[in-house]
Structure 1
Amino acid sequence: MLLSIIQGIFKPKTKEKQITSELVQMAKAGDQEVLNDLLLAFTPFMKKTASFVCKRAIDEHDEEYSIAMSAFHEAIMSFNPDENASLQTYAHLIIKRRIIDFIRKESLRKEKVLLINASREDAATEHQQLFDAQALDSYSLEKQAEARRDELSRYTKLLVEFGLSFEDLAKVAPKHEDARKTAFQTAQIIAETEEFYEFLIKYKKLPLKEMEEIVEVSRKTLERHRKYIIAVALLLKSDFVYIKEYVKGEII
């Protein structure tokens, strides 16, 4: 029955999204049958997402599929419709991160030299973080203000390269919270997906066809929020630490 209820799950309508959200709440409340049905209904999505991350076909015999299923279960248990755009968009991010973590761990296990390098990188990162903290402590308020102005200037120039401005963003930013969350999480997927971000940088536009296959958003909606999505994706991939402070609560 559940499969028929949420059929067309990759292009769900608003009502179907609501039904899926209700089923998730039932699963989180302890309904094992609904949980199992959700896992079964989203099996094609889990395989597709795992294949997308691994860049090869993934089936039930692959360990990556088990990780994808575990990650999707995690997404169900942690999904909050008030904080996340949709289950599928949210689950895509979780599955991708868990598989990447697995690939990294496997690489480290098989190649000791990578473990050594990773340790050095971690140490360097910790040292850099300590240095950054000490530097921030020593900054005067004037220096911090100067740094913020510099970031705003650089971000403004970056936006101009894509035909955007802060005035544009103020006009096109999604007004409704759900739409804003959907657009932000779509931008996060672009920023975290190498081929999507490379397409954006090269062609100065969104990879709409590819995005439609990943997120629960129509092409029309993607085009309507195009400027906002591009601006957020550019910000998330930047080193603008001060500006990012304003959106850190939005990042999954």
Structure 2
Amino acid sequence: MGNLQLKEILLEIKNGNELERERLIRHYEPYILNAVSHVCKKYVTWSSDETSIGLIAFNRAIDTFEFDKGRAFLNYVYLLIQRDIIDYFRKEKRHLHPASDNYQLEHDNAELKASLESYQQSTNTSALVEEILELDQKLSKFNISFEQLESHSPKQRKTRIKVMGMAAEFMQHVDLVDELVNKRVFPVTSFTKRTGFRSKSIERHRKYLITIIMIQLHPEWRRLSTFVQVGPGSVKK
């Protein structure tokens, strides 16, 4: 989602369009869960208390974000989520273990330092998250979700190299690429006739193969290339 499109959506929401708010929340659900999990340093679900806090913070970010401040929306969201969850943990600790003023001051300063360091890290990773969200949108047209990729990715390096070779070969055939993009179905028969790759091998790794092709079709997703780097190697058909 580009800045211009996001700006228009946020303006619609601030003018009372609650449907756009719901759509924006659904779009960024993976980011909200990821941000909450990162701050908490544990796996969370939508039923977790911390995730509810993150969702409230995201809604507040929608209402208070200002483009003229010169910061990225996702960085701002992360900062609000992190601050609210830290406040939540602090209140829980105070309730369970009342601390002295000096101890609490030292504790708050340490948390502030950790918060700033983590915020800097979020600045470096938010662009990757945005690329993942865009890829997830593209993959949904093929009934593939980003969450599925781990289970469908080849475990052996040799196999990953082979699938990368398939993708590179596929990209050489412009008409097949157009067919994949427009019809949203991998042209297995046409591809096997031209290249000699086995149809069983293609079907076995179809989701991973399509993902690689989508990434190659979008060179602006520079950070996503790290997910499919397998190094040099020969490819056998």
Q: State the TM-score, normalizing by the size of structure 1.
A: 0.44
* Larger RCO of the pair (alpha carbons < 8 Å, separation 6+): 1
Q: State the TM-score, normalizing by the size of structure 2.
A: 0.46
